[in-house]
Amino acid sequence: MGYQAATERYDTMLYNRSGKSGLKLPAISLGLWHNFGGINVLENDRAMLHRAFDLGITHFDLANNYGPPAGSAEETFGQIMKKDLLAYRDEMIISTKAGYYMWPGPYGEWGSKKNLIASLDQSLKRLQMDYVDIYYHHRPDPNTPLEETMAALDLIVRQGKALYVGLSNYKPAETRDASKILKRLGTPCLIHQPNYSMMSRWIEDGLQDVLEEEGIGSIVFSPLQGGILTDRYLNGITADSRAGGPSHFLNPDQITEEKLNKVKQLNQMAADRGQKLSQMALAWVLRGGKVTSALIGASKVSQIEDAVNSLKKLSFTEEELSRIDTILNG
């Protein structure tokens, strides 16, 4: 018998409305960036997708260049989707993006109409789908008029290739301008995807205000600061970590003694709360309801389970929030 989703999959997951839209997203979403490429073990990828969906994670986040190699994350997801999850397509939110380098020549990156439409057509073939739920412009293009990029996103929705559109890595002023163009076109921006964690708080300096004013949701990537806000590095860098692995996705030089000392203090605080550090870090980005969803990466099923368990304790006292600030600013 093939995969059958758990009947209790919606019993405990928290779902938040994305901005002023009608769409709800799970508080924890699964990103398929560095662990779903052609170099990874397919059966492990399948097990992670199954478990995530069984736990109520309905949102799966991709991009055209995710892998490695580029494009292979979409191919992997499409393969597993077709074999195991197709019956549940209407219960899922699938997103992809374009904007970073994908193919040679003048049309293989950035934000032209040519790039965005060609890239999505390629993504849909790899995903073996007729449409995605959310299509993002992955990064601002300083050389293409914003009106062209936003008009391309609007056209894609009107063509039925995406239901919603989003932005990623846009600064506050860029986000406001893009949102106003999209509203005029009749395709409001659904969501913004910035990086955000206890150690990277730039979105608090203007972007969150713009999102609230424009009625845009947010899904934050790197809430664990590339793995630093976990217990993984408390006793040094291991060979199976992001800093110690062959890809060196996380530069070992980023893990300084000063930073490690702060992580140890935060880890003790998480223990006092009855959580792992990673769980407290996820709860922290979701505090106050400003963030719609926290986007996690995972290399094994247990990491997904840990992330979902962070939802059991999302509240912080004022004393706890002050203590976190003191540790990070010390």
Residue-wise pLDDT for 115-125, tens only, equals 999 999 999 99
Angle of helix 113-127 versus helix 146-158 axis, rounded to 10 = 40
The rounded radius of gyration (Å) of the Cα atoms in the chain is: 19
Please determine, for residue 251, whether its predicted confidence score (pLDDT) is greater than 70. Answer: no
What span, in angstroms and rounded, lies between the C-alpha atoms of 27 and 40?
26
> What confidence category does residue 1 fall into, taking pLDDT thresholds of 50, 70 and 90?
low
Q: Is 253 a residue whose pLDDT tops 80? A: no
What is 183-208 written as a DSSP string?
A: HHHT--EEEEE-B-BTTB-GGGTTHH
Spatial separation of the C-alpha atoms in residues 134 and 324, rounded to whole Å:
34
Bridge partners, residue 15, by sequence: 26
Asked if 95 and 60 count as a contact pair (C-beta separation under 8 A), the reply is yes
Map out the domains of the chain with their CATH numbers: 15-227+247-254+288-312 (3.20.20.100)
Instruction: Answer whether residue 271 shows pLDDT above 90.
Output: yes
Q: What is the mean pLDDT of residues 174-193?
A: 98
pTM for the complete prediction?
0.94
If we measure between CA atoms, which residue out of 223, 276, 233, 289 comes closest to residue 256? Answer: 233
Which tokens in the block code for residue 99? 């904007």
How far apart, in whole angstroms, are the C-alpha atoms of residue 192 and residue 214? Answer: 11
pLDDT at 147 over 90: yes
Decide which of 122 and 254 is more confident: 122
Q: Is the pLDDT of residue 200 over 70?
A: yes
> How many whole angstroms separate alpha carbon 297 and alpha carbon 117?
27
Mapped onto helix, strand or coil, the DSSP state of residue 133 is strand
Q: Is the pLDDT of residue 243 over 70?
A: no
| 37 pLDDT higher than 80 | yes
Write down the mean pLDDT value for the chain.
Answer: 94
How many Å apart are CA 28 and CA 49, to the nearest integer?
A: 13
Lowest mean pLDDT segment, chosen from 81-90, 173-182, 228-237, 267-276: 228-237
Kindly tell me if the per-residue pLDDT of 244 is higher than 50.
no
For residue 288, pLDDT beyond 60 = yes
